[in-house]
Structure 1
């Protein structure tokens, strides 16, 4: 049986949506709206309900969300609002929409769309914050929050490579920091492949990576939507 999946990618800056066939073929145009602020649960839920109502026919929903997600409950979303800690997003949306829903961390979802399924594969997403996901032979190792770990001095990966840092230091110095991070992450994980996604991946200059060029790839930010199919395939 074939299903139509409404895939949604919630970010700190924008929310995207598209309807996909089981093979990943889109049957609708991609919708994009700016993330409202303050991004409290009530405001984001109302925004999602409105966005979903404007889409076409679909059978089920997948959502990538910028937070650790455990059984449909968000465990903090520092780039949205403190009230997301412990919010039952899947239950709330299902009660209002009456459709099957799967929700996972946005970097995990993008990783599901990017990986080849061989060896150690690390995914980082560069946008408002710094997202990450880790896979071994195609299996997700969930709830990896590299962005909140120390990178330099007392600053985290997110402090050094998030949007605020990019705005402050500019793309050239930001890329130098990213190069250092890529080298550090290689020593930590010995990854076979590192995929770089997110809205700011377009600013990455890979010619700064002569020693790791064969191990690093920039991937389309649309994989944050396409990867949503994996939430249903795995279940």
Structure 2
């Protein structure tokens, strides 16, 4: 499959690089859905740039994909360079990830922060579809990921989970991992989320907050305990969001 109109639909391909698995799929960019079954390959250990690039090439070959593709990565990504490395080998820091993937695969690559990719997917196809205002997409998991989208355009690498609130890195107290680690009730955790989201909305004044991450499936259990003036809704695309967003951004870029 190549980047082409296919029975009236246009396609992209997205790959989601994580600490434990690397997942990829072709995406129907008219519908915002996978166009084929997702392939998952365990992340090589150690997860060096060379080793990971080899798996990315494997996924592209599996789908016989020779067009541009998008890759999410758990890091700040500036102009294709990975500036940080969360849950992957530290040798990614300062790596020209985009250049490496292009050289290793022979295809045009776009590398994007994983929360940013999920955010753009939720705005284009998910919970914030059709919303042209300021949307904050926030993922609650081991940490707190964030994506800020204004009028359908991404403001990249916001890293709002690392705001300092009450002397703490915000995600240390408010991420889903903190809830589990400290065995917090939904109400107790809701109080911490209230502190976090009120701080963020006083800085950015978003029009909508979309909450993703695994715990968004239990949205109705904890959301009543979160007090914000901004409307808050659960993400819809869940684990597919990164792949869909990466495919979309790469398609737009090229």
Other structure's SS at 1:183 match: helix
Root-mean-square deviation (Å) = 2.6
Q: Judging changes above 3 Å, is the alpha-carbon distance between structure 1 residues 48 and 31 closer, same or farther for their aligned structure 2 residues?
A: same
How far the C-alpha of 1:61 sits from its partner, in A, is 1.0
Aligned with residue 182 of structure 1, among 189, 197, 213 = 197
The alignment status of 1:217 with 2:223, answered yes or no, reads no
Matched residue count: 233
Q: Judging changes above 3 Å, is the alpha-carbon distance between structure 1 residues 9 and 170 closer, same or farther for their aligned structure 2 residues?
A: farther
Deviations 1:64-116 (A, max 9, x none): 11111122111112332322211111111111211121111111111111124
Aligned match of 2:165? 151
CA contact (8 A) 1:117 1:139 kept: no
CA contact (8 A) 1:5 1:58 kept: no
How far the C-alpha of 1:175 sits from its partner, in A, is 4.2
Q: Judging changes above 3 Å, is the alpha-carbon distance between structure 1 residues 106 and 209 closer, same or farther for their aligned structure 2 residues?
A: same
Aligned match of 2:225? 208
- In 2, the alpha carbon distance for the partners of 1:161 and 1:25 equals 31
Deviations 1:177-216 (A, max 9, x none): 223212221222111001112334334422223655x711
Worse-matched range after superposition: 18-27 or 83-92: 18-27
How far the C-alpha of 1:13 sits from its partner, in A, is 4.5
Unaligned runs of 5+ in 2: 124-129
The normalised TM-score by structure 2 is 0.79
How far the C-alpha of 1:162 sits from its partner, in A, is 4.1
CA contact (8 A) 2:69 2:250 kept: no
Unaligned runs of 5+ in 1: none
Other structure's SS at 1:194 match: strand
- In 2, the alpha carbon distance for the partners of 1:110 and 1:78 equals 17
Other structure's SS at 1:16 match: strand
How far the C-alpha of 1:22 sits from its partner, in A, is 3.1
Deviations 1:95-149 (A, max 9, x none): 1211121111111111111124422111112233321111222222222111222
Q: Judging changes above 3 Å, is the alpha-carbon distance between structure 1 residues 159 and 211 closer, same or farther for their aligned structure 2 residues?
A: closer
Aligned match of 2:57? 49
